Amino acid sequence: MSSPLLAHADLLRSGRATFTGWVSVASAVNAEILAREDFDSITLDMQHGLHDQQSVIDGIAYAALAGKATIVRIQVGDFSFASRALDYGAMGIIAPMINSVEDAKKFAAYTKFPPLGERSFGPVRAATMCGMTGGEYLKIANRATVAIAMIETQQAIDALDDILAVDGIDGVFVGPSDLSISLFNGAKVDQAAPEVFKALKHVVARAKAHGKFATAFCLSGASAAEHAALGYSMMTTFNDINMLQLGARAELQLARAGAVGKQGGNAY
Q: Which residues are catalytic?
A: 48
Instruction: For the chain, state the CA radius of gyration.
Output: 20
Q: Which of 142, 19, 36 is nearest to 92 (CA)?
A: 142
Question: How many residues make up the chain in this entry?
Answer: 268
Helix (H, G, I), strand (E, B) or coil at 61: helix
What is the C-alpha separation between 153 and 79, in angstroms, rounded?
A: 19
Q: Within its chain, how far is the Cα of 249 from the centroid?
A: 26
Q: What are phi and psi of 112, to 5 degrees?
A: -125, 140
Residue type, 238: F
What is the C-alpha separation between 182 and 202, in angstroms, rounded?
A: 16
Burial of 99 (0-12, 13-18, 19+ CB in 10 A): buried
**C-beta separation of 44 from 121 below 8 A:** no
Q: If you write DSSP's letter for every residue of 131-190 in order, what string do you get?
A: T--HHHHHHHHHHHSEEEEEE-SHHHHHTHHHHHTSTT--EEEE-HHHHHHHHTTTS---
